[in-house]
């Protein structure tokens, strides 16, 4: 199912505007994040297939927080000089969170086409007229 356009999202709907409740069995912190994410978006933003991804996102956040707490408690390096396994897991969960937030289009960068961003950069790159022309330098006070 295709995503709705900005105009379609801005149009009020007379149909269901109920936000999806958190699934049963989520830890309280994960359920609170679910509610927070859903409250910040249009009621019909997520499709049915997105619910699994959203659940994976909030569970990854929950697990990452647990790993971070273990790293704070035990330190990033174990007694034998090895990296704390919780630190490695935290890094993997961070990558999972980034991937899932992109797939769910929760971050602004996920809604920008890379070629468009590159085109804008190309259009605005290059020297400014007063930086390249010695004849024009007398007219600018930089």
Q: How far apart are CA 85 and CA 140, in angstroms?
A: 58
pLDDT of the residue at 110:
66
Given a cut of 70, whether residue 90 has pLDDT beyond it is: yes
- What's the average model confidence in pLDDT over 18-36? 92
Asked if 74 and 86 touch (Cβ cutoff 8 Å), the reply is yes
Q: For the whole model, what pTM was predicted?
A: 0.67
Question: Which of the residue ranges 20-24, 42-46, 110-114 would you say has the lowest mean pLDDT?
Answer: 110-114
CA 3 and chain centroid, separation: 17
Asked if 58 and 30 touch (Cβ cutoff 8 Å), the reply is yes
pLDDT of the residue at 94:
96
Q: Which residues contact 31 (CB under 8 A, 6 or more apart)?
A: 22, 58
51 token code pair: 């619910």
Asked if 60 and 106 touch (Cβ cutoff 8 Å), the reply is no
**What is the average pLDDT value for the chain, to the nearest integer?**
82
Given a cut of 70, whether residue 2 has pLDDT beyond it is: no
Phi, psi (deg, nearest 5) at residue 118: -65, -35
Q: How confident is the model at residue 111 (pLDDT cuts 50, 70, 90)?
A: low
Asked if 87 and 76 touch (Cβ cutoff 8 Å), the reply is yes
Q: Enter the DSSP assignment of 91.
A: H
Per the document, the length of the chain is: 142
């Amino acid at each position: 199912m295709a995503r709705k356009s900005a105009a379609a999202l801005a149009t009020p709907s007379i149909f269901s505007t109920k936000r999806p409740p958190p699934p049963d069995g989520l830890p309280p912190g994960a359920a609170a994040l679910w509610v927070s994410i859903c409250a910040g978006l249009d009621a019909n933003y997520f499709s049915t297939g997105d619910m699994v991804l959203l659940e994976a996102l909030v569970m990854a956040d929950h697990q990452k927080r647990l790993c971070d707490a273990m790293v704070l408690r035990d330190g990033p390096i174990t007694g034998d000089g090895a990296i704390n396994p919780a630190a490695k897991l935290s890094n993997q969960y961070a990558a999972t969170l980034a991937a899932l937030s992109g797939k769910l289009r929760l971050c602004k960068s996920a809604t920008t086409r890379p070629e468009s961003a590159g085109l804008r950069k190309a259009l605005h790159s290059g020297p400014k007229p007063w930086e390249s022309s010695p004849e024009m330098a007398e007219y600018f006070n930089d």
